[in-house]
A = this chain, B = another copy of it.
């Protein structure tokens, strides 16, 4: 990329707003994904939607690929410049613009960290119910977490989506930049939009149709009381059946998270140890909410169902400090993997909930037959599985084996009636698998949609499509 182009970018976003030296670009060569690297020619940091539009206009008119990037925590290579060009980072578009309680919406810029919204809202008695706090990456100290823009691009779920739905369910309006560099405001503060659902289409499109600049998101009141139920199981099948039993009982948990033995061992070996039972084959953490009497009745109901379903131990945690430690332990599970193995590949598939035990057995065998171990954390409520396949990068060939095992697990998810991604995208890594889910007709329709937004094919090229 010649310097005159860099200069023109700097004219738009200011002198500190463009990185283009090799040493600076190195950081942006990869994202949360291990297996893909790609060098951008420049990383650009617009401060507003108008600047973002001008940057897109400049790049688009010069045929330069454009890759959006939030915190780079996708697990599919979504934020990697696979074909060069510029990366547009939303790091300087990180403001909560408005919180409108009467309409129960917040207006936020794309670069706002998911957790910040809840930190702000909780003081008002509100929440943004897509709780992605668990997406702390390999280094828990750095607290790098996902942005709302990245959540929208991947239609992320999180621990509460069983009750509250995924990201797209919270979106009321979007301000996007579409080629060749136009700002569009779609929707607003109300529930529904006429015509085709362009908001739904942009959500989950992984930066291939538009760049998200701002979003109007639904917020909901926090309940007065939350209670945590901790249950342990002697085998995975019983745990799987217990999850189904809780759901079939008519209970309404907010979150249901399952960790298997190796995941518990990792967490309990680190600084976030919370007293999870290390001898259990599976541990289930459930949260319920309501008015104080309502939450208590719900917790009793869930505990009873778990006992009847064969849980080895069931505890209703009334100490809020202990409950907080348990959830922190769960949320640090990815970061704690270093205590049980030097490296890991984390996958992201979904399955119909009642196939849980089968899916976990397949994950273990896919790793075991390659001489590897797998730890599993699982959003049991919505059937979103995150197997963490452990390997040692110093041993030649192990990384490739881990990736292979991950693909085998995802293919099994599809066989079981699930999908190849819950919330981290198709990106680059799972392109090949998309054809396992859709026929040529659907992929043809998707490509035509892509072309109608992005006729030159410059938005996040090389992603999603096989």
Stretch at the interface among A25-33, A134-142, A248-256, A258-266: A248-256
Stretch at the interface among A292-300, A310-318, A363-371: A292-300
Interface positions, chain A 178-214, Cβ under 8 Å from B, are 178, 182, 184, 186, 188-198, 200-201, 203-205, 209
Does A98 interact with chain B (Cβ within 8 Å)?
no
Question: Which chain B residues border A249 with CB–CB below 8 Å?
Answer: 221
Question: Which chain B residues border A195 with CB–CB below 8 Å?
Answer: 204, 426, 434, 437-438, 442-443, 446, 464
**Complex copy number for this chain:** 2
Stretch at the interface among A5-13, A54-62, A165-173, A326-334: A165-173
Q: How large is the interface on A (under 10, 10 to 19, 20 to 34, 35 or more residues)?
A: 35 or more
Question: Which chain B residues border A189 with CB–CB below 8 Å?
Answer: 352, 417
Question: Which chain B residues border A443 with CB–CB below 8 Å?
Answer: 195
Q: Give Cα distance in the complex from A421 to B125, angstroms.
A: 31
Interface positions, chain A 385-437, Cβ under 8 Å from B, are 417-423, 425-426, 430, 434, 437
Does A247 interact with chain B (Cβ within 8 Å)?
yes
Stretch at the interface among A85-93, A273-281, A448-456: A448-456
Partner of A290, one of B201, B244, B247, B290: B290
Does A84 interact with chain B (Cβ within 8 Å)?
no
Provide a sorted-by-A list of 30 A–B residue pairs whose CB atoms are within 8 angstroms: A102-B247, A102-B352, A102-B353, A103-B352, A125-B250, A126-B250, A157-B192, A165-B169, A166-B191, A166-B192, A184-B441, A186-B442, A188-B418, A189-B352, A190-B418, A192-B423, A194-B464, A195-B434, A196-B449, A197-B201, A197-B205, A198-B442, A200-B203, A220-B252, A221-B249, A221-B251, A294-B294, A444-B452, A448-B452, A449-B452
| A contact residues vs B (CB 8 Å cutoff) | 101-104, 125-126, 155, 157, 161, 165-166, 168-169, 178, 182, 184, 186, 188-198, 200-201, 203-205, 209, 220-223, 244, 247-252, 290-295, 297-298, 350-354, 382-384, 417-423, 425-426, 430, 434, 437-439, 441-446, 448-453, 464
Q: Is there an interface contact between A102 and B354, defined as CB atoms closer than 8 Å? A: yes
| Shortest Cβ distance from residue A450 to the other chain B in the assembled complex, whole angstroms | 8
Closest chain B residue to A450 by CB distance? B196
**Given contact pairs A166-B191, A192-B204, a sample of 16 additional A-B residue pairs in the complex whose CB atoms are under 8 Å apart:** A102-B353, A102-B354, A104-B247, A188-B352, A192-B384, A193-B437, A194-B430, A194-B437, A194-B464, A195-B446, A196-B204, A197-B204, A201-B201, A201-B449, A220-B252, A291-B298
Question: Which chain B residues border A203 with CB–CB below 8 Å?
Answer: 197, 200
Question: Which chain B residues border A382 with CB–CB below 8 Å?
Answer: 190-192
Question: Which chain B residues border A204 with CB–CB below 8 Å?
Answer: 192-197
Q: Give Cα distance in the complex from A198 to B350, angstroms.
A: 18
Q: Is there an interface contact between A439 and B184, defined as CB atoms closer than 8 Å? A: yes
Closest chain B residue to A452 by CB distance? B448
Q: Is there an interface contact between A350 and B205, defined as CB atoms closer than 8 Å? A: no
Q: Is there an interface contact between B250 and A184, defined as CB atoms closer than 8 Å? A: no
Q: Give Cα distance in the complex from A294 to B293, angstroms.
A: 6
Question: Which chain B residues border A419 with CB–CB below 8 Å?
Answer: 190, 192-194
Q: Give Cα distance in the complex from A384 to B184, angstroms.
A: 24
